[in-house]
């Protein structure tokens, strides 16, 4: 039964290419502890999604970034085992910092876009969509 307190949560995820490689973080917490994912997390009250994605990337990777564009919104109700969560996914560019794991990320790494491991949540689907877009832009 639906209660007014039952609402989808809002998250953000980041697609960051550095020299043709994608920034990934290894999750330090459940769900999916130990699996790689895109950097991201929940939007805090009073924060825009753009502010949230830049903050989350800084917390998880120590990279300073800026938003290039909104890539897409992923909102399948079962995409996160903690409950219905919609994510605004952004493309970002690095503007500074040295990459290292931080916050709830056990590690951060660059992965060749052609050799992405199986990712947490629906992030493999997001990366597949991103690779399609990159392929169209290379024509």
pLDDT digits (tens, 9 = 90+) for 52-104: 999 999 999 999 999 999 999 999 999 999 999 999 999 999 999 999 988 88
Does the residue 3 lie in any domain? no
Residue-number span of the structural domain to which 113 is assigned: 9-137
Q: Which residues are 10's β-sheet partners?
A: 86
Does the residue 94 lie in any domain? yes
Question: Is residue 135 over pLDDT 60?
Answer: yes
Does the residue 4 lie in any domain? no
Q: State the average pLDDT for the chain.
A: 94
pLDDT at residue 139 in the model: 40
pTM here is: 0.93
Does the residue 83 lie in any domain? yes
Does the residue 50 lie in any domain? yes
Does the residue 128 lie in any domain? yes
High-pLDDT (> 90) share of the chain, %:
87
Give me the CATH number covering residue 105. Answer: 3.90.79.10
In terms of residues, how long is the chain? 139
State how far the Cα of 27 lies from the Cα of 16, in Å rounded to an integer: 17
State how far the Cα of 91 lies from the Cα of 93, in Å rounded to an integer: 7
And the tokens for 22?
């994608």
């Amino acid at each position: 039964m639906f209660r007014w307190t039952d609402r989808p949560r809002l998250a953000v995820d980041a697609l960051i290419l550095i020299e043709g490689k994608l920034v990934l973080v290894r999750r330090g917490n459940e769900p999916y502890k130990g699996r790689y994912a895109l950097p991201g997390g929940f939007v805090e009250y009073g924060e825009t999604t753009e502010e949230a994605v830049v903050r989350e990337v800084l917390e998880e990777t120590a990279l300073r970034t800026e938003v290039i564009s909104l890539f897409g919104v992923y909102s399948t109700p079962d995409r996160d085992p903690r409950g219905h969560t919609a994510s605004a996914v952004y493309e970002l560019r690095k503007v500074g910092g040295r990459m290292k794991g931080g916050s709830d990320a056990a590690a951060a790494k660059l992965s060749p876009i052609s050799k992405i491991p199986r990712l947490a949540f629906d992030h493999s689907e997001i990366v597949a969509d991103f690779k399609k877009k990159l392929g169209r832009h290379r024509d």
